[in-house]
A and B are shown apart, each in its own frame.
Chain A
Amino acid sequence: MALLEVEELRVSFPGPGGAAGSAGAVQAVNGVSLALESGRTLAILGESGSGKSVTAQAVMGILDVPPARVGGSVRLRGRELLTLTPKQRDRVSGEEIGMVFQDAMATLNPVYTVGEQLAELLRVRRGLSRSAARRRAIELVDRVHIPAAKDRVRDYPHQFSGGMRQRIMIALAIALEPDVLIADEPTTALDVTVQAQVMELIAEIQRDSGMALLLITHDLGVVAEVADDVAVMYAGRIVERASVRQVFAGPAHPYTEGLLASMPRIDRRDEELYAIPGAPPNPARLPSGCPFHLRCPRADDVCRATLPALEPLPEGRASACHHREELLHVSR
């Protein structure tokens, strides 16, 4: 049994004026299944509108239900999370699942010092005394390598740089020692030198604590640097699932193949980039058949008519493409 298991997850939002599930509803996540083991890093790779963030939010239990409608199953150590009462669910957040978001300024409370925010969490959830909570807050700020932690806990979020704020968010996320950290684009707003520091910090915490990481990102470079396994999402579905080495050595879905080819490289200069034609589809108006067929160089009549299921391939990988077998042979 994996630590975190997501099975056939479905999330829909009501369309304009309608209810979720009715006509015009947006099916943001459409049957996503994932498994994450202790100490491992699983990256969900996707572009805007792919459903990657909604998947993360459904697992974290922070979607407003209603209006959103969530179906399927999310299990942590075998325990179903989707049927918990809000109160039970609150205990899971932080204790078992920690969360880090892209925009730390919007996540931290601007009118409390970071020390107060950390200490409050520890007092409410761990029952620590004021002084013990304060000591632990300083340890946590020190743990995320913020210099002069003892003084910095008295500062407000706006007094920190973007990278430092992201470290504080990580401190909050790991304060209750969760088994799983879900990080939604944790470094997207950061400069590249600061991004490297933050990713290194997360990796270090992971090495020390054996925490599993579910990383939501659009950045192929970040995936290649930190992930063990990858799930590529497109139009609300997983289109490819494999180990990170498998994906980069030879993608088994034309979308992944296109993403890799369209990315300029820092280590060499290519003559011309491959460009995937068109734009990611609007989740409210998906094309027939395979949602990628309008942009796919391999699309044929079968692709236009029939939605391909995520089917297993050798070596534990899977692809949702009618041409998956030939793709694998080409890339070998």
Chain B
Amino acid sequence: MSADDSGQQVADKLGRHRAEPGDLVLRVDRLVRHFPVKGRLPFTSGGVVKAVDGVSFDLRRGETLGIVGESGCGKSTLARMLVGLERPTAGEVRFGDAVVHAARGRELRALRRRIQIVLQDPYTSLNPRRTIREILLQPFEIHPDVLDRRRRLDRVRELLDLVGLDASVHLDRYPHQFSGGQRQRIGIARALALQPDVIVCDEPVSALDVSVQAQVVNLLERLQRELGVAYVFIAHDLSVVRHISDRVAVMYLGKLVESGPEPMLYDAPAHPYTRALLSAVPVPEPVGRAERKRILLSGDPPSPVDPPSGCRFRTRCWQATETCASTEPPLTGDARAVACHYPLAAA
């Protein structure tokens, strides 16, 4: 049996799971990632940063799950675990029947093809010494069984065309010869090269100019319609997340505090943090701004090294009680879930 054949077998094993729309592609189960912190003195421990502390969600084929949260809430650590760049302390990420972090060798390589990532900074995520041709051929060099060598360059041209770049002009240029928006298109083309089922987008438009953001958001939406790829779209910009997501989950200090379908979560937030977060977003409409009600949270999010007891949001919450300090509210509900002892009624 040649190496190509056995590679095909693994692909088939995984291939069973790339089936119909609506199918689960990713199951994230109680994912935890703790980082040890050095103490003030040598050889002492300063405790652990609970960057991600029990996050679960499902992702269906062709849908977009938005994950929002402020800096330090653990959303980028979550992104890195989803694609296997970071090993979880506990919990698992399942793709079909395969567990991402238990996979080894051929199975792991096959899995990596199926889950790709687009990073925030298009300036540092492309190798400055390589041409676009080399950057886009690299995925096929790492996964040579995907495509015959002779067909690869054609595929690279198709990919550039797909993301709106002109192969005849751009193929032999270097990253520095492109604008930020074009570089992000190249990053997206690279993520698409191996025809993944899931693309994790970690702040994909935050580094771009306002006028260019819309181009990239529209591109991601069109690619989803055409290719059926599912996105985990991680961002701090709630407006962009609302626009692109089918479902949204809100993260606070390593945990999901609320999740639900896009219109519900935005129009009737049930968790006080979600409501505060939404009300803090500036509205691009000056008329009536003086009357707008804004929930101003006091202070910053607490340190993930030493999160508050009970509900982690209670130190900034205006309706916290003793129950909130003593008991941690679980994330309850199915399509629409909230982790709060006193969920808000629809406003």
Contacts and interface: CB of A to CB of B under 8 A. Distances in A.
The 9 closest A-B pairs by CB, nearest first: A221-B282, A262-B214, A264-B243, A191-B70, A279-B179, A196-B280, A275-B214, A273-B214, A47-B209
A269 interface: yes
B311 to A, nearest CB: 17
8 contacts: A224-B284, A227-B286, A248-B286, A262-B211, A264-B217, A265-B283, A275-B211, A279-B211
Given A47-B211, A224-B284, A265-B243, 14 more contacts: A191-B300, A191-B301, A194-B300, A197-B297, A218-B209, A225-B282, A227-B286, A248-B285, A249-B287, A265-B242, A266-B238, A266-B278, A276-B211, A276-B214
B209 A272 contact: no
B284 A263 contact: yes
B283 A224 contact: yes
Interface of B: 70-71, 179-182, 209-215, 217-218, 221, 236, 238-240, 242-243, 262-263, 266, 276-278, 280-287, 289, 294, 296-298, 300-301
Contacts, number: 136
Contacts of B218: 272-273, 275
Interface in A1-42: none
Given A266-B239, A266-B266, A193 B280 contact: yes
Nearest to A274: B214
B280 A221 contact: no
Interface in A225-264: 225, 227, 244-245, 248-249, 258-260, 262-264
Contact of B242 (A195, A223, A260, A266): A266
A222 B283 CA distance: 8
A332 to B, nearest CB: 16
Interface in A211-226: 218-225
B210 to A, nearest CB: 6
B46 to A, nearest CB: 16
B50 to A, nearest CB: 18
B67 to A, nearest CB: 15
A163 B316 CA distance: 15
Contacts of B282: 195-196, 199, 219, 221-222, 224-225
Categorize the interface residue count of chain A: 35 or more
A235 B217 CA distance: 24
A220 B210 contact: yes
Nearest to A197: B296
Nearest to B182: A279
Interface centre among B210, B214, B281 (most CB of A within 10 A): B210
A269 B209 contact: no
A161 B211 CA distance: 31
Nearest to A255: B211
Given A265-B239, A275-B214, A196 B284 contact: no
Nearest to A260: B284
A259 B70 contact: no
B243 A269 contact: yes
Contact of A244 (B213, B286, B301): B286
Contact of A48 (B209, B236, B301): B209
Is chain B's interface secondary structure helix, strand, loop, or mixed overall? Answer: helix
Given A161-B300, A218-B209, A266-B238, A193 B214 contact: no
A192 B266 contact: no
Contacts of A266: 238-239, 242, 266, 278, 281, 283
Contacts of B298: 197
A277 interface: yes
Given A161-B300, A192-B70, A225-B289, A263 B210 contact: yes
Given A220-B284, A260-B284, A269-B243, A192 B217 contact: no
Contact of B209 (A199, A274, A280): A280
A196 B286 contact: no
Contacts of B236: 191-192
Nearest to B215: A275
Contacts of B214: 262-264, 273-276
Contacts of A47: 209-211
B184 to A, nearest CB: 11
Contacts of B71: 162, 191
Contact of B210 (A196, A197, A259): A259
Contacts of B301: 191
Contacts of B70: 191-194
Contact of A277 (B213, B215, B283): B215
Contacts of B211: 47, 258-259, 262, 275-276, 279-280, 295
